[in-house]
Amino acid sequence: MNLSEKLEVAQALASLGVDVMEAGFPIASPGDFEAVREIASTIRGPIICGLARCNDGDIDRAWEALQKAERSRIHVFLATSAIHREFKLRMTQEEIIARAVKGVERALSYCDDVEFSAEDAARTEIDFLCRVVEAAIDAGATTINVPDTVGYTTPEEMYARIAELINRVPNIDRAVLSCHCHDDLGLAVANSLAAVRAGAGQIECTINGIGERAGNCSLEEVVMAMRTRNDVYQTTTRIKTERLVPISRLLSKITGLDVQRNKAIVGRNAFAHEAGIHQDGMLKDRSTYEIMRPEDVGFAKTDLVLGKHSGRAALADRARDLGYHLNGEQLQIVFEQFKVLADKKKNIFDGDIIALIQQQISGATNTAWTLVSYRVQSGSSKTPCVELTLKHGDDTFTERVEQGDGPIDAAFWAVEKITGIKTVCKDFRVQSASLGRDAIGEVTVEVDHEGESYRGTGASTDSVESTILAMLNAINRIITEKSLRSAGKVTPQDA
């Protein structure tokens, strides 16, 4: 994600009602630092948290990024398991405890909200884990996180681990216990819920369950499990559940990582009923086959809301309902594109609006290279031909390309020829943004340039135009990253 995309997600998380937002790892790169600093400066409501290893440089950098936050937290972590002590850190148990205490104390010198994570806690000897946790709390940690870093544990084991910490650590009442579960065995949600039942007060989770390897605990699933089965978990959250589907779709559009149709809570099929016996039961009483109302998680009965006579205020209001926060300039650009689209289509669906907004957020418009016009000729027995005109600054460039095995391939060649930037296409996806033959087609491309991967998105009722826009989006990202890198403001891993 670029900075504007990260800010859009951060705004959506704040609107969702999360308690704590871990904005990034400031020491990891200049790009990560800038993102954390910008989120801390602009987002109000949640605690803004920065991640740091238990060393002075990480902690100092985290505070530098966080200091303008309304409420800030520094999250320090250090591996504790035997396998990490031996092979990664090469440290003794006593050295681990000393490092953890020092890290917590340094973080506490900057802010009074400090979280300590015992990395790989699920595989750490319980006696040693209790010692580390007690020492971290004595040093001033206000939240203790128990991560299942490699997704290895089971619900029964997680419950027992949290329960033992509560029973054996004498100062545990001075801190909130937290869990952080990975999904390598598909148990992240179950393990997190087990931790809650045992007494944990914080769950670290992600929208759509995105994350390292197989991902993390899915926010929407644990939230709705606790809400639907409050009789079991007897706890509440501040999450505005009707925002779950909009933020899920927002994240999917930004990252290009779509959720499966049968994904719990937010998948397209989550509330679909095809079997006759299910349909019959639903017609008689919804509770026969639905344990949640689709409206409670953000699904609407219809998404047809706007037409060519709709105004800017109506568009802005619908954008907010869909989970987007547009500034004045962004709204104006999207509104102008909306009017153009409305002249082409009789009905404008939510999916069409999302595609227009996402194109603006991702930087597909108003950037270095922009599309002026194109013309394509193709046929089953003809070599495809594309005549493409692009604009760069005040200059326009036109090329006619006759090569490739189809109009899409020819469009790729034409963009590369004009911009002079060579890429290798690693992934190409096109999907409909809404309903009907005149629906906007969204294209997502992933390209390789000089060993780095870049993503581009484009949206249009014309799939060839969508492809050109997606390619230009990727090309502009390449140009931007190179410029920032040469200025020392970003490293390759940010791209």
**Structure confidence by residue, pLDDT tens digits, 134-176:** 999 999 999 999 999 999 999 999 999 999 999 999 999 999 9
Mean pLDDT, range 27-43, rounded to an integer: 95
**Structure confidence by residue, pLDDT tens digits, 187-216:** 999 999 999 999 999 999 999 999 999 999
Together in a domain, 95 and 233: yes
Tell me the pLDDT of the chain averaged across its residues: 88
pLDDT value for 287? 77
| 488 conformational bin, left if phi > 0, alpha if psi -120 to 50, beta if neither | left
Give CA–CA dist 337/459, Å, rounded: 11
pLDDT score of 45 more than 90: yes
Q: What CATH code is carried by the domain that includes residue 481?
A: 3.30.160.270
pLDDT value for 454? 87
The more confident residue out of 64 and 366 is 64
Judging by DSSP bridges, how do beta strands 382-392 and 395-401 pair with one another?
antiparallel
Q: Is residue 280 part of a domain?
A: no
For the range 105-112, what are the long-range contacts, defined as Cβ-Cβ under 8 Å and sequence gap of 24 or more?
A: 105/139, 105/140, 106/56, 106/59, 106/60, 107/52, 107/59, 107/62, 107/63, 107/74, 107/76, 108/139, 108/140, 110/59, 110/63, 110/67, 110/74, 111/63, 111/66, 111/72, 111/73, 111/74, 112/140, 112/142
Together in a domain, 335 and 395: no
**Structure confidence by residue, pLDDT tens digits, 219-253:** 999 999 999 999 999 999 999 999 999 999 899 98
Place 330 in a pLDDT band, splitting at 50, 70 and 90. Answer: confident
Mean pLDDT, range 442-469, rounded to an integer: 88
Lowest average pLDDT, out of 61-75, 208-222, 271-285, goes to 271-285
Give the end of a domain, one of 214, 239, 255: 255
pLDDT value for 492? 44
Q: What CATH code is carried by the domain that includes residue 223?
A: 3.20.20.70
pLDDT value for 494? 46
Q: Give the domain range for residue 326.
A: 304-361
pLDDT value for 58? 97
Quickly list H helices, 206-291: 219-228, 230-233, 244-255, 276-284
Give the end of a domain, one of 229, 255, 281: 255
**Which whole-number Å values give the CA distances from 146 to 51, 77, 117, 161, in the listed order?**
15, 10, 6, 9
Q: Is residue 203 part of a domain?
A: yes
Q: Is residue 141 part of a domain?
A: yes
Q: Is residue 356 part of a domain?
A: yes
Mean pLDDT, range 31-59, rounded to an integer: 97
The more confident residue out of 404 and 282 is 404
Together in a domain, 113 and 178: yes
Q: Is residue 36 part of a domain?
A: yes
Together in a domain, 246 and 335: no
Give CA–CA dist 362/126, Å, rounded: 46
pLDDT value for 479? 87
Together in a domain, 355 and 375: no
Mean pLDDT, range 305-317, rounded to an integer: 74
Q: Is residue 437 part of a domain?
A: yes
% of the chain surpassing 70 pLDDT: 91
Together in a domain, 31 and 112: yes
Mean pLDDT, range 85-94, rounded to an integer: 95
pLDDT value for 436? 67
Mean pLDDT, range 43-70, rounded to an integer: 97
Together in a domain, 223 and 241: yes
What the block records as the tokens of 307 is 């037409």
Q: Is residue 223 part of a domain?
A: yes
How many separate domains does the chain show? Answer: 3
